[in-house]
Each structure stands twice: as structure tokens, then as C-alpha cells.
């Protein structure tokens, strides 16, 4: 037993992936509603229109969390439920806000700690149409600050806040690859708008500034009385050099983490972007004004860590194309010796590698001065899971092993390496809308039967989490 007695474990979800009820009680469209309506963007033309119907089943979801023994629940709010048009001069939708206030009260009554993410990719569509959404350096941070203030004021009982989930994905997948809403890319076969060489870096910058503004509001106006903590959640893979004998691969493996994680974490902890990014991107990477830098630097009470997998990394040729977002390198699931990094899953990008998890916790701890870390997402899909019968799906031994191995890697990082990890949220509480993959891929610890009224059936992994963490957390 190596985890602190107050270690917090539970499950995570995101509003657009589970809530459904897209036009109920005054909610207006988000960029994902609009994106899903474009033919060919989502597998089988799926959308979050119904998803898991969680907006109408909060009591059922809380009962599920209680049944499997979860201590905490990380979920996100739908901005366009709370301020349907999104802006700081637009009206607040009281029905939408009241929904989340009651949900938090109900979670607390059930003995479950809420952890709220303000933004998990679902910008009010009106803001995208009004001024370009995340691309607008002046308007977006101010509108996000206002939204954050409205929520902080309404929900003082929440003590764990996350501003943005995975700004890397909001920047690169949405404004370089065009795979995520609003779908910008330089590839004109996929989108009529977008500049993959510039827009991702602009969006990333604006997200950081918006984060800084929201944190300042929380610390100045709410933290003294509410006594909560606030941070940002960043995603990134662990890396190994493709050829450990080649110093260029060793450098590239480090650089990949800088381009995915340190892109956002360095400004938060050091007030500047990584040198490797500035060197490659030049003036395409925005400069912080003095005011922006002051807002962003020091704006984390904890480090929110989303993590799933690892990659072997091979250096590039020194001439990356303008749209390169990775740091002049390529990734592979096998190394020079032909060894696989981990077993295949349903997700082409995800191969379990628990040692990489431990390594990355150490990398983050050393670079950023051993901050408190909350693992805000970690989990796996299973190859072919969606093709099985319900009875077979419920016996998800692959996922049980994944959680076991990753939790033990985390515990080793704490006990043997001295890292300060304080919480863990498994992804995900239930099968849900998996963005561009629609409902093809299941990440849930609970099976959702989309053909039979979204009924929930906990899988073996859902029941395995409590005994797993009971075995690792010190008793008071």
C-alpha cells in the first residue's frame, strides 16, 4: 500500500459524449452538433444527439457510481446549456445551470466527490460563427472567463476544477487534421477553411490565456471562501527512442513530449514555450504579451494528466513540412529490433505500456518540480469489443488487466520514485460517443446498450476498480 490515505479514485466522462438531450431545456448547439451534421465526418453518421441520455439519467449514473464504489466523478459541463450563445453579454440559461447545481448536490449526498471540467471540446457554436471561436485572441478568453465565473458562483460546493481538457486535441485535431470540430485543415479535400501550419498554434495560445484568466478569477473571487483547487488537463504519450543507440532518436523522443505536453505545461510552470518549439516554428508560435505571461505562469494548483499509451520515436530529416505538429519525427508501435510496444486495441493509436506511464509521471515530476498530479483519464478500448455479444463484452479481462497494470505503475512512481500523485479517474464510466469514431469504439467500464434504451450493464472492470485501489491506498 503506497498511495496516500486521501487518494481519490473514480471515473471520468465528457458532456457531449454522454448527455444527449441536445435541444432540451434551452441548450443551444455546440460546434460538435454542427460538425456531426456534416456528411462523412463521423463513423456511420453518428452524433451525440442521444448518446447515453445521461442528461435525463443523472440519478441512474449516480447509482452506478455508488454500486461500483467510486469515490469521485470527473465530468464536464456543456457551455451551451449554461450560456446558450456563449458570450459574456449573452443571457444565462438558468435551467441548464440548475441541472448541474442539482447534479453536484446529488453526487455529494451520495458521498461522491465531483471534479468538474469546464470545457471538453464543445464550444457554443454561436461563438465559432460570431468571431471564429478559439481562433480569436481578444474575444474568446474574455467569454471563457465570464462562463467560468458564472459556474464558479453557482457551484461553490465543487472543490476540484479543470479549465480545459486536452488543449492539444482542441488545437491539432480540430485545426490541423480537421478530424475534430470545427474541422479546420489545410487539406482542401476535407475542409474549405483552415491553415494547418498556423491555426493550431494560435488556438493553443488562446486556450492558455483563457485558462489563465479563469484561474485568476477563481483564485481572486472564489478560492478564499470555497477552498478548492484548479488546474488544466494535458494529454500525452510516453516515448521511447526507436533506436536507443542513436542520439537523434533519443532527442526526438524527448522532443515529442515537448511538442505535445510541454507546449502547454511549460508556459504554465515557466512562463514560456519550449525552446525546441520556438526553434522549429519561429513566428508561427505566438509570443506571450507581458500581461498574458503573468496570467498563465503559475496557473496550476495541480497537474491534470490524461494518458493512455506509448510510442517509439524516430528522428526526422531536419526539414519538417509547415504543417508538422510533432517536432520533426515519426512514431511507431515497433522499435528497431522489431519489438512491439504493447498489445493491439480497437484504437490504432493505443497500445498498453504501463512502464511508459510510470516513466512519464517521472518526466513530468522532474521537469515541473514534483507538482501534485491527478490522473484525470486513463483507460483502453479492446480490439473487436463492439462485435461481441453483451455477455462477452461484460467479461472485459483485457481492460481489468490494463487498469491493474497501470495502477501498479502509478503506485511504483509514488512509492519508489517519490512522485506526488493524488488521484486517478478511469476512462470511462460508460461506453459513449467516441468523437469521430461514433459508437464503433467502446472505452466504458459499463456496457451501454444503444439498441435497448441506453440500458447500462457494469462490466467486470467496473467492479475491479474498488478492490484494486483498496489494495494500494494506505489506511488512515
Alpha-carbon distance of 99 to 61, in angstroms, equals: 14
Nearest to 351 by CA among 311, 386, 306, 384: 311
Q: Do the domain assignments include residue 97? A: yes
CA–CA distance from 193 to each of 61, 176, 181, 273, 471 (Å)? 39, 11, 12, 27, 52
Q: Residue 1 domain-assigned?
A: no
Dist CA 372 CA 303 (whole Å): 6
Neighbours of 255 (CB within 10 A): 24
223: Cβ–Cβ under 8 A, 6 or more apart, which residues? 230
- Residue at grid coordinates 474549405: 192
Phi first, then psi: what are they for 391, rounded to 5°? -60, -40
Residue 476 domain-assigned? no
Is 2 among the domain residues?
no
- For residue 159, the enclosing domain spans 8-470
Residue 353 lies in a domain: yes
**Would you please indicate which residues are annotated as catalytic (active-site) residues?**
166, 377
> Residue 144: which H helix or E strand, with range?
helix 139-154
Q: List the grid coordinates of 365.
A: 515530476
Q: Is the peptide bond before 182 cis (omega within 30 degrees of 0)?
A: yes
In a domain, 475, yes or no: no
Nine cell digits for residue 447: 456496457
The count of C-alpha atoms lying within 13 angstroms of the C-alpha of 218, restricted to the half-sphere facing its C-beta, is: 30
> Are 453 and 465 contacting, i.e. CB atoms less than 8 angstroms apart?
no
In a domain, 3, yes or no: no
- pLDDT tens for the chain, residues 1 to 476: 899 999 999 999 999 999 999 999 999 999 999 999 999 999 999 999 999 999 999 999 999 999 999 999 999 999 999 999 999 999 999 999 999 999 999 999 999 999 999 999 999 999 999 999 999 999 999 999 999 999 999 999 999 999 999 999 999 999 999 999 999 999 999 999 999 999 999 999 999 999 999 999 999 999 999 999 999 999 999 999 999 999 999 999 999 999 999 999 999 999 999 999 999 999 999 999 999 999 999 999 999 999 999 999 999 999 999 999 999 999 999 999 999 999 999 999 999 999 999 999 999 999 999 999 999 999 999 999 999 999 999 999 999 999 999 999 999 999 999 999 999 999 999 999 999 999 999 999 999 999 999 999 999 999 999 999 999 999 98
Q: How many domains does the chain have?
A: 1
In a domain, 125, yes or no: yes
What CATH number should be reported for the domain holding residue 454? 3.20.20.80
Amino acid at each position: 500500500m503506497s498511495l496516500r490515505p486521501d487518494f481519490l479514485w473514480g471515473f471520468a466522462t465528457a458532456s457531449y459524449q454522454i448527455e444527449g438531450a441536445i435541444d432540451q431545456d434551452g441548450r443551444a448547439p455546440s460546434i460538435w452538433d454542427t460538425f456531426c451534421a456534416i456528411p462523412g465526418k463521423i463513423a456511420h453518421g453518428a452524433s451525440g444527439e442521444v448518446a447515453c441520455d445521461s442528461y435525463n439519467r443523472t440519478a441512474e449514473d449516480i447509482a452506478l457510481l455508488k454500486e461500483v464504489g467510486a469515490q469521485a466523478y470527473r465530468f464536464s459541463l456543456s457551455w451551451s446549456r449554461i450560456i446558450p450563445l456563449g458570450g459574456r453579454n449573452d443571457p444565462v440559461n438558468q435551467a441548464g445551470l440548475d441541472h448541474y447545481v442539482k447534479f453536484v448536490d446529488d453526487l455529494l449526498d451520495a458521498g461522491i466527490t465531483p471534479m468538474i471540467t469546464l470545457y471538453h471540446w464543445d464550444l457554443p457554436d454561436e461563438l465559432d460563427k460570431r468571431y471564429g471561436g478559439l481562433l480569436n485572441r481578444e474575444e474568446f478568453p474574455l467569454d471563457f472567463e465570464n462562463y467560468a465565473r458564472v459556474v464558479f458562483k453557482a457551484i461553490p460546493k465543487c472543490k476540484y476544477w479543470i479549465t480545459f481538457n486536452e488543449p492539444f486535441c482542441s488545437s491539432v485535431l480540430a485545426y490541423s487534421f480537421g478530424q475534430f470540430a470545427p474541422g479546420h485543415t489545410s487539406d482542401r479535400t476535407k475542409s474549405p477553411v483552415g491553415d494547418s501550419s498556423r491555426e493550431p498554434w494560435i488556438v493553443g495560445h488562446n486556450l492558455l490565456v483563457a485558462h489563465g484568466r479563469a484561474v485568476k478569477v477563481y483564485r481572486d473571487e472564489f478560492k478564499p471562501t470555497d477552498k478548492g483547487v484548479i488546474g488544466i488537463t494535458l494529454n500525452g504519450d510516453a516515448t521511447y527512442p526507436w533506436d536507443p543507440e542513436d542520439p537523434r532518436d533519443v532527442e526526438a523522443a524527448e522532443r515529442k513530449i515537448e511538442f505535445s505536453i510541454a507546449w502547454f505545461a511549460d508556459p504554465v510552470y515557466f512562463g514560456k514555450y519550449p525552446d525546441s518549439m520556438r526553434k522549429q516554428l519561429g513566428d508561427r508560435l505566438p509570443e506571450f504579451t507581458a500581461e498574458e505571461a503573468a496570467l498563465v505562469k503559475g496557473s496550476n494548483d495541480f497537474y491534470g494528466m490524461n494518458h493512455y499509451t506509448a510510442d517509439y520515436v524516430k528522428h526526422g530529416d531536419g526539414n519538417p513540412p509547415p504543417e508538422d505538429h510533432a517536432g520533426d519525427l515519426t512514431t511507431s508501435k515497433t522499435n528497431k529490433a522489431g519489438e512491439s510496444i504493447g498489445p493491439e486495441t480497437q484504437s490504432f493509436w493505443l497500445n498498453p505500456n504501463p512502464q511508459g506511464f510510470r516513466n512519464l509521471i517521472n518526466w513530468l515530476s522532474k521537469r515541473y518540480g514534483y507538482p501534485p498530479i491527478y490522473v484525470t483519464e486513463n483507460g483502453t478500448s479492446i480490439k473487436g469489443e463492439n462485435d461481441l455479444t453483451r455477455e462477452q463484452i461484460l467479461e472485459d479481462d483485457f481492460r481489468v488487466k490494463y487498469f491493474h497494470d497501470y495502477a501498479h505503475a502509478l503506485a511504483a512512481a509514488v512509492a519508489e520514485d517519490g512522485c506526488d500523485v493524488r488521484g486517478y479517474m478511469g476512462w470511462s464510466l460508460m461506453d459513449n460517443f467516441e468523437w469521430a469514431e461514433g459508437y464503433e469504439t467502446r472505452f466504458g467500464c459499463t456496457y451501454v446498450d444503444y439498441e435497448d434504451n441506453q440500458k447500462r450493464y457494469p462490466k467486470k472492470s467496473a467492479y475491479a476498480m474498488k478492490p484494486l485501489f483498496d489494495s494500494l491506498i494506505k489506511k488512515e
